[in-house]
């Protein structure tokens, strides 16, 4: 019986005694406080999905990060539209103060956002669900934090219209 009392005072195997603190071990695989802090928020990106076009495939996806991007018909653009109604260097997309903005770069045929034509080099905010029309191509914007998506822009789940000749 005396040995049982001694075991209780020592604690069971694996328990800490009052002089040991939780989380402090000599094991080199322990995590530091910095490792347990939540990660920095990943900035949002825009997933631009082709939903209407005479020359492009509906469902085609373009991604513009918080670093911004460009829209055009030829050359190096983040959103490359094979539509004659799109100028070679058509528009710029920027990210500032947590929002995305679209600015037409003096294109020949202009841009329409949410059924409203941009005037000259007007800048307009674009958000989740915004629709941009350039030539015959309509794009719907999906703005999500980091790598998150919704059912309308998740690769493999996107609903692509069936086109019949």
Q: Which DSSP state fits 32?
A: P
Both tokens of 57, joined, read: 């495939």
Check whether 159 has a pLDDT greater than 80: no
Tokens 């990060």 correspond to 65
Q: Is 135 within 8 Å of 111 (Cβ atoms)?
A: no
Q: Is 69 within 8 Å of 77 (Cβ atoms)?
A: yes
Return the CATH architecture of domain 44-153: Sandwich (2.60)
pLDDT value of position 165: 38
Check whether 100 has a pLDDT greater than 90: yes
- In 134-157, which positions are buried (b, 16+ CB within 10 angstroms) versus exposed (e)? bbebbbbbbbbeeeeeeeebeeee
Would you say how long the chain is, in residues? 165
pLDDT value of position 40: 64
pLDDT value of position 41: 72
pLDDT value of position 164: 36
Using CA atoms of 29, 35, 36, 40 in order, give the dihedral in degrees to the nearest 10. Answer: -160
Higher pLDDT, 59 or 134: 134
Both tokens of 162, joined, read: 């069936």
């Amino acid at each position: 019986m005396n040995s049982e009392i001694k075991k209780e005072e020592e604690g069971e195997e694996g328990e800490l005694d009052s002089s040991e603190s939780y989380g402090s071990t000599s094991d080199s695989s322990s995590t530091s406080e910095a490792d347990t802090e939540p990660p920095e928020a990943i900035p949002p990106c825009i997933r631009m999905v082709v939903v209407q076009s005479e020359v492009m495939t509906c469902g085609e996806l373009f991604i513009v990060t918080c670093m911004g991007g460009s829209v055009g018909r030829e050359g190096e653009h983040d959103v490359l539209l094979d539509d004659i109604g799109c100028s070679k260097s058509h528009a710029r997309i920027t990210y500032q103060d947590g929002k995305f903005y679209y600015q037409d770069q003096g294109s020949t045929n202009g841009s329409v956002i949410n059924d409203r034509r941009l005037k000259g080099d007007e800048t307009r905010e674009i958000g989740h669900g915004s629709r941009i029309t350039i030539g015959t191509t309509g794009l719907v914007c999906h703005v999500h934090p980091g790598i998150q998506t919704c059912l309308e822009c998740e690769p493999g789940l996107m609903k692509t219209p069936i086109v019949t000749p």
